[in-house]
Structure 1
Amino acid sequence: MKEIKIIFISFWGMLSSALGILFVPTVLLIFCNILDYITGLMATPKRNEKINSYKSIKGIIRKVTMWLLIAVGVIIDQVIIYSASTLGISFTFLISSLVAVWLVCNELISILENIVDIGIPLPGFLEKVIYYIKGQVENKPQIDSQKKKE
């Protein structure tokens, strides 16, 4: 039992050290992925649908694709970190953290939809809070691809 604790703590310590600021949104996304999958399975009969392997595989592929989006964010962050370090500027996992938080919000929205489909009422503010957070994340990086014409 002691060895299992050591392995568990070592794994989470290494993951936390490697991911830094990205650790919390990553763990939250893992948790939300699992909850969304479980609540989706629970809501399937209430939606008059059948659970089948094709839909399950499709859902798992969707979750894996979310991780690819975070990987793209990490790559962008690494390019920025490299460029910033040549200028003497400190930078951390900003883009990938924003992607992870945005994905967590999407998963939370999906979980709430599943819960409603199961037949459980939601507090009115809950969905509004999640959409607000998602909107804040979407609107924070104000990057213009073209100059505005005057």
Structure 2
Amino acid sequence: MTTRRSRPACLLLALAASCTAASAATIVCTPGPAAGNAPFNAVRRIAIDEFSRTVNLDVVRSKTRETETLGKMRADLVGMDESSGEPVYVFNSIPTSEVETTTLFKLFKAGEWRLTSATLSFVGKVPMLRTADSGTVFNCKRSSLG
């Protein structure tokens, strides 16, 4: 293949990559003002990268009356649907080898952004529901990549 023929191919690949990246977006969410009246929610920040299908969460690891200790949690974006006109994101925490629990999250917009979650434990290979959260209001901002 000559240099002349490979340049157009490289340009087409670069254009295709930039179009793919331009269609993907990130979304960053923090608890909304109504979250202060809601029951305790451990999630303090959510960052979803649609392109890499990863989710990073800042969560409360421990809490005293005066302070909160934050930690990081990674999750996999397992589902994304915009067929209803409003986006719905479904993601689950990545369990470590020593922990046999996982948390499933659903972030959706129904007038306002809401996050619901359920924590599952596995006994043998059977999942058991440990906790379920009815939902917390979040402020979310979307931005395009590229």
TM-score range relative to shorter protein: under 0.3
Task: Report the TM-score, using the length of structure 2 for normalisation.
Answer: 0.25
Structure with greater helix share of residues: 1
* Greater RCO structure (CA 8 Å; 6+ sep): 1
Structure with greater strand share of residues: 2
